[in-house]
Structure 1
Amino acid sequence: MMAQKFDRLPEGPLSIADAVQHALNYCNFGRLDFCDLVCSRILQADPDNINAALIQGLSAYKRRDTARAAALLRAVTERAPGYADAHHHLGVALFYDGQHQAAAAAFAQAMALRADYAEPMAGFGDVLRLQGHKEEAFPILRHALELKPNYSPAYIPFSILCFERSLPPGAPPAERRPPRTDRPLLTMASLGNYGRFAQTVNEYVAMRLYAERYGMEFATPDWVGHHFFTLDDPAMDPRTLADFDEWLSVRDQFAEHFDGNTETPFRDRDLFLGGSPVNPMRLADRERVQGWLTPRDCWRDHLDPPVEALRRRGRTLIALHIRQTDWWDKAYTPLSLYLSWLEQAWSGFDDPVLFVSTDEPKVVAEFARYRPATSADFPRRWDGLDYLQDFHVLSQADVLAVSTGSFAMTAAALNRNATLFLRPAAENRGLESFSPWI
């Protein structure tokens, strides 16, 4: 639908403001030729239009021409030194151009102009991390996430630091095997940068299944799942940039290749999909996907105690995932669905114990009659990675009811114990049973 909306230049005259919005939309949707053409027309009519000049820089970055992007964006900051967004985007271009010190200076200037600007704060923290100043980077990245909890470029480096800080003495870091040189290579530089943990896991599974189906090697960047799961994928060249050009078309083609067959699959390139365009959890692949996505043994001291503590409270572990704060359209599942189901089903389970995983602690009181446990009851919290403890409990439950989003759905796909999975029925008519594998 988005591709149809922005598959051609607008007809008829546009105001400068509308033209700038069109240019930005073209940039975001990977229609970079259209973006550049609209920007050039704007600047012909209004040479001092700073927003069009900024979008030109963003388009150059998305074309993977970081040197040109940095030059364009630096010119914007010189013309508008108080434009915090321009300093931030200059920092991003410099970062991916390998100029880390200059990137840090640009990020710092953006933060000086706007103290609560999470995006350059994350960039500044990541530069410090990569330069080895990890103790300095840690609180900066944590604060960026406090300001913008769903910002992946902060969440990834922060989570990686948390893994490193909690690695048991003597435990090896996550492994990387050498890439096979007799196969075509696929990479995904954006893995983890456009979505949180579960969305990234689904994107990883889709890409790896695609690569294996067509006889290719799949190399990955440094992402959260590589540290958490028993994965040994080859490391991609960190200088490889995400390929945004015409990404909506690439996304559609990927889905066609995944579900059908093609003699011309993508090969020897980077893919940007903007999230998996397919549900990769196919029944025929269940065993190998669950094998890939097994937590590393070194994390057992963080993952096993919460499950063991819940098992001591009862024999049937019933887990609910309730999302209430950050879904894009605010279409949250009503609590009444879970309460109604519990009222009907609770007495039929053998010594049940209820666990509620939620991003809104206020909802827990609604389940008081069932004496629910939450992550606050875990005997040990995993600093910065407590969402993985919740995820693990969901993946070990005997009964799992999911809600909006992919977090609990992905945990359900990895759950080998549950005898019942529940999800909201259409139009929230109640909870219905389902299989997480299609």
Structure 2
Amino acid sequence: MVSGIPVITMSTLGSNGRFGNQLFQYAFLKIYGKRHQLQVETPPWIGQYLFGHQDPPITRQLPMIQQNSYRLDLDHIAKSQIPFKNVDFWGYFQYHTSYYAPEKDYFRSLFKPVPAIEFRMRKVFNRLRAKGKTLVGLHLRRGDYGTYGPHSNFFIAPSEWYKEWLRGFWGTLDKPVLFIASDEPDKVLGDFSEFHPVTSNDVCGCFPEASFYPDFYVLSHCDHVAISNSSFSFAASMLNERGKLFVRPYPLESKLIPFEPWNSEVLIRTPETIL
């Protein structure tokens, strides 16, 4: 604690979920601290390397306050009129993005890469742009997701849904380039051969510090984006300032549907899976 300012921490930041989860956790922590004039302390996490964050380290163990719902009207943290102070938050904080929308610019500022990484990623993006004019990005999550099912948050949307969407407007685009981000590209690239897809492996050198980040960066700069039911590509959509269209898989209709990154649920959930 500095000069008597109350503190909030998240001791599990960096270990509770992957990159997309960590972005929402950090954004929640910083925005909550900003709204209520609280000091933020964090453990080491990948955002310090990518985005240059230099929050003070956690200085002491604080009582844990756990998120109990993704719904703004049910979660005791989100709906509390009295801010929590001197606590350690635990949760994923993937609320309906209307919660974060008033701080859209601040949210985006939190995840701007440091100049050295921006320079490397810009070179990757320019190589993609050299292949055409309109960049269409797909995020196809496979390896750590379960099988398709209407009652699972982590369903695998079939490639056919994405191909149907692409065929519906591909011919109207000016020199389109298809970019595919996937944890298992070898399993999906063949499905899209008619569109001659490109991956980060085709345009990016080795990035061992955060091998997932080139995919994330490109998705956050595409002209049209089709995501998985994943916080990774949803967060990239929130950071995307040039995107004209964002779509996501909707299992109850077996197709992709449009969504607004700053006015939507992060994950499509069914009543069986809502906390």
Structure 2 length as normaliser, TM-score? 0.84
In the alignment, what sits opposite 1:416? 241
Instruction: Decide which structure has greater strand share.
Output: 2
Structure 2 segments unaligned to the other structure (5+ residues): 147-151, 264-275
- CA deviations 1:255-313 (Å, max 9, x no partner) are 3342x3513x221122222x225245632211111112111102134311221110000
User: What per-residue deviation string (whole Å, max 9, x for no partner) do you get for residues 150-198 of structure 1?
Assistant: xxxxxxxxxxxxxxxxxxxxxxxxxxxxx74242111111112110011
Identify the residue that residue 21 of structure 1 maps to in structure 2: none
- Partner residue in 1 for 2:141: 323
Question: How many angstroms does 1:249 deviate by?
Answer: 5.5
> What secondary structure sits across from 1:354 in the alignment?
strand
Query: C-alpha displacement at 1:404, in angstroms?
Result: 2.1
For 2:68 and 2:177, how far apart are their aligned partners in 1?
47
Pair member with larger Rg: 1
Q: Could you say what secondary structure the match of 1:411 adopts?
A: helix
Which one of the candidate residues 203, 209, 234 is aligned to 2:56? 234
What's the counterpart of residue 168 of structure 2?
344
Given the alignment, which residue of 387, 392, 399 partners 2:217?
392
2 CA distance for matches of 1:291 and 1:231? 11
Q: Relative to 1, partners in 2 of residues 1:249 and 1:345: Cα closer, same or farther, differing over 3 Å? A: closer
**CA RMSD of the aligned region, Å?**
2.4
**Separation in 2 of the partners of 1:249 and 1:261?**
12
Contact 1:357 1:390 in 2 (8 A): yes
Q: Secondary structure at the match of 1:392?
A: helix
Give the corresponding residue for 2:19.
197
Residue in 2 that maps onto 1:262: 81
Structure 1 residue 243, shift from structure 2 partner = 5.1
SS in 2 for 1:208: helix
Tell me if the contact between 1:230 and 1:292 (Cα under 8 Å) persists in the aligned partners: no
**C-alpha distance in 1 between matches for 2:70 and 2:178:** 40
Structure 1 unaligned segments of length 5 or more: list them.
1-178
Structure 1 letter corresponding to 2:76: E
Q: Aligned runs of 1:19-418 on 2, under 5 Å? A: 180-237=2-59, 240-241=60-61, 247=66, 255-258=75-78, 260-263=79-82, 265-273=83-91, 275-276=92-93, 278-279=95-96, 282-327=100-145, 331-361=155-185, 362-418=187-243
Higher helix share: 1
1:30-69 CA-to-partner distances (Å, cap 9, x unmatched) read xxxxxxxxxxxxxxxxxxxxxxxxxxxxxxxxxxxxxxxx
The one-letter code sitting in structure 1 at the alignment partner of 2:234 is M
| More RCO (CA 8 Å, sep 6+) | 2
Provide the C-alpha distance between the structure 2 equivalents of 1:373 and 1:204, rounded to a whole number of angstroms. 31
Q: 1:1-26 CA distances to partner (integer Å, 9 max, x unpaired)?
A: xxxxxxxxxxxxxxxxxxxxxxxxxx
In 1: Cα distance, 2:31 partner to 2:223 partner: 28
Question: 1:205 offset after TM fit, Å?
Answer: 0.8
1:247 and 1:292, CA in 2 relative to 1: closer, same or farther beyond 3 A?
Answer: closer
Deviation at 1:247, TM superposition (A): 3.6
Q: Deviations over 1:364-413 (max 9, x none)?
A: 11111111001220241212422001100001111111012111000000
The alignment partner of 1:206 has SS state of helix
- Distance in 2 (alpha carbons) for counterparts of 1:340 and 1:414: 26
TM-fit CA distance, 1:251: 8.8
Partner of 2:220: helix, strand, or coil? helix
Partner of 1:36: none
Kept in 1: contact 2:10–2:90 (CA 8 A)? yes
Say if 2:67 and 2:76, in contact at 8 Å, map to a contact too: no
Q: Secondary structure at the match of 1:407?
A: helix
1:203 Cα deviation from its structure 2 partner:
0.9
**2:170 alignment partner AA:** W
**Offset, 1:230:** 4.0
Change (3 A) 1:277 1:340: closer
Tell me the matched-pair count: 254
1:117-174 deviations in Å (ceiling 9; x for gaps): xxxxxxxxxxxxxxxxxxxxxxxxxxxxxxxxxxxxxxxxxxxxxxxxxxxxxxxxxx
